Amino acid sequence: MRLDALPAALGQVVGNRGLVTDGSDLDPYRHDWRHMFKGRPLCAVLPRNTREVAEVMQLCAASGVAVVPHGGNTGLSGGATPDESGQQVVLSLARMNAIRDIDVIGETIEVEAGCVLQTAQEAVDEKGLLLPITLAAEGSARIGGIVSTNAGGTNVLRYGMARSRILGLEVVTADGQVINGLRRLRKDNAGYDWKQWFIGSEGTLGIVTAAVLQLAPKPRHRVTALLAIPSPADALQVLCAARNAIGETLTGFELMAGSALELVTRHQHLKVPLGASAWYVLLEASSSLPGLRDATEAFLGDVLEREIATDGVVAESERQEADLWTLRESITEAEGREGRSVKHDVSVPISSIPDFLKTADEAVMRSFPDVRINTFGHAGDGNLHYNVIVPTYLDAAALNQLVHDVVVSFGGSISAEHGIGQYRVNELERCRASVELAIARRIKDALDPQNLLNPGKVLALR
């Protein structure tokens, strides 16, 4: 089929309201949330069900046209933005947003890819359960994007990455076949665990249309505290002390530079309930058993006495808890308002965090003296957002390389949770061993021989 005839044929599949071809209606599909990546789609299609997704893929495969899957568009790596060719179809899952089932006894939810994470969280909460994937963008991120990017967030140290919550998947392949793997089994060792290929592969191997997620019991008690600390090394001491005192109840352990919270107070007009400090830790513990608040307060008293922390405040109400988290979750927005920033979503072994930060800070400031480093992140699982606020003329690729070289020298990863998208494609080629890349390409060739699924994302175009 000729390219100019394809949109009308797709419209036959998804209906008039599911086809977007012109003008400002296409805007949401032309760029990512930060307006960092821009593209020109041929059209966007919004199927209503899995069969329609399969038919869209069949038509595109027959026409040799590439498809870019699109969820909440809040990813930070340009994974959902088409290229500039005007020849790629954006496939939005937004209209496939049903919660198909919540199994209270089995503690699972079956949900379609277009459902917003927060909607799924709220539905599960009403049943007295917890969907333990929590991130700043949960009000817009959709389940398909969560699966496809193997999203992380703020409670990974307790509940793991998205991958560890996924029991089953429904996927449409590059040639439009439906794989129904919506099993709800905790144990399933029957051959290759193929669903893993579609988790975190950013729509380059198949289109995720629905998922079964493992839920957790909803903790009845929660304690949230903000601590002022002198240094990242002290943060690790606080982490160890917390593990000793309240162990598995630790749900979140976020590190923030004082300068990151300064951005938040200036741009978002929020107030930090502690005095100025070089660093802060935001800590959350949760449990279904009583006694958590007493145990957490005793631990906080201990770290203050030992002067690993210099000040601290414990939230006394849900409102105060939310306010503390708003401080943390507003950093991205405040950073955006401050000007141009170059993001590094890195992880290093937790014990290396202080040395990594020292080495990276020195290297960055030596080579780029007119930048400001904005460090924050999920220190409890080793993931730091090592973002750098830069002047407009700065060479971002050179900065990326410098930071990533330090990351690799510490045995770290150049993407902890945001994925590769189009942003880090060249850096992945540079930083990963050729044997790892070769295996990835063989899997890609096997599942998408025409290279029609999100080409140029994760793996460089050849």
What angle, rounded to 10 degrees, do the helices at 353-367 and 232-246 form?
Answer: 160
The least CB distance from residue 138 to ligand 2HG, in Å, is: 11
Q: Which is nearer to ligand 2HG, 167 or 348 (CB)?
A: 348
The least CB distance from residue 386 to ligand 2HG, in Å, is: 9
On whether the CB atoms of residues 79 and 454 are closer than 8 A, the answer is yes
Q: Which is nearer to ligand 2HG, 120 or 137 (CB)?
A: 137
> b or e along 11-34 (b: 16 or more beta carbons within 10 Å of the residue's beta carbon)?
bebbeeebbbeeeeebeebbbbbe
Q: Which is nearer to ligand 2HG, 328 or 444 (CB)?
A: 328
DSSP three-state, residue 343: coil
- With CB atoms as reference, the residue minimizing the distance to ligand 2HG is 332
The count of chain residues that interact with ligand 2HG, using the rule CB under 6 A, is: 5
Helices (H), 80-116: none
The least CB distance from residue 145 to ligand 2HG, in Å, is: 13
Closest CA to 85 of 39, 152, 118, 127: 39
- Structure tokens given for 105: 């006894």
**Per-residue x/- mask for ligand 2HG, residues 345 to 384, rule CB under 6 A?**
----------------------------------------
Q: What are phi and psi of 8, to 5 degrees?
A: -65, -40
**Which residues lie across from 383 on neighbouring strands?**
347, 378
Using CB under 6 A, which residues numbered 419 to 448 contact ligand 2HG? none
The least CB distance from residue 65 to ligand 2HG, in Å, is: 32
Q: Which is nearer to ligand 2HG, 70 or 385 (CB)?
A: 385
> Residue 385, interface with ligand 2HG (CB under 6 A)?
yes
Number of residues that this document lists for the chain: 462
The strand ranges marked E within 59-215 are 67-70, 88-92, 99-103, 108-112, 129-130, 166-172, 178-181, 207-214
Q: Which is nearer to ligand 2HG, 315 or 379 (CB)?
A: 379
**Per-residue x/- mask for ligand 2HG, residues 303 to 332, rule CB under 6 A?**
-----------------------------x
The least CB distance from residue 33 to ligand 2HG, in Å, is: 10
**Which residues lie across from 31 on neighbouring strands?**
38
The least CB distance from residue 174 to ligand 2HG, in Å, is: 29
The least CB distance from residue 139 to ligand 2HG, in Å, is: 13
Q: Which is nearer to ligand 2HG, 138 or 170 (CB)?
A: 138
**Which residues lie across from 109 on neighbouring strands?**
102, 213
Using CB under 6 A, which residues numbered 194 to 233 contact ligand 2HG? none
Tell me the pairing of strands 41-45 and 88-92. Answer: parallel
**DSSP for 173-187, written as a single string:** -TTS-EEEE----S-
Q: Which is nearer to ligand 2HG, 195 or 385 (CB)?
A: 385
> Residue 387, interface with ligand 2HG (CB under 6 A)?
yes
The least CB distance from residue 323 to ligand 2HG, in Å, is: 16
- Structure tokens given for 45: 């299609």
Rule CB under 6 A: choose which of 343, 404, 424, 457 binds ligand 2HG: 343
On whether the CB atoms of residues 367 and 417 are closer than 8 A, the answer is no
Element (H, E) at 279: strand 279-287
Q: Which is nearer to ligand 2HG, 98 or 389 (CB)?
A: 389
Please name the amino acid found at residue 433.
A
Using CB under 6 A, which residues numbered 230 to 269 contact ligand 2HG? none
Rule CB under 6 A: choose which of 57, 120, 136, 156 binds ligand 2HG: 136
CA atoms within 13 A on the CB side of 268: 21
Using CB under 6 A, which residues numbered 45 to 104 contact ligand 2HG? none
Q: How far apart are CA 257 and CA 279, in angstroms?
A: 4
On whether the CB atoms of residues 84 and 39 are closer than 8 A, the answer is yes
Q: Which is nearer to ligand 2HG, 136 or 211 (CB)?
A: 136
The least CB distance from residue 183 to ligand 2HG, in Å, is: 30
Question: To 5 degrees, how large is the angle CA 168–CA 459–CA 152?
Answer: 45
Please name the amino acid found at residue 339.
G
Q: Which is nearer to ligand 2HG, 97 or 387 (CB)?
A: 387
> Residue 457, interface with ligand 2HG (CB under 6 A)?
no
Q: Which is nearer to ligand 2HG, 52 or 417 (CB)?
A: 417
Interacting residues with ligand 2HG (CB under 6 A):
136, 332, 343, 385, 387
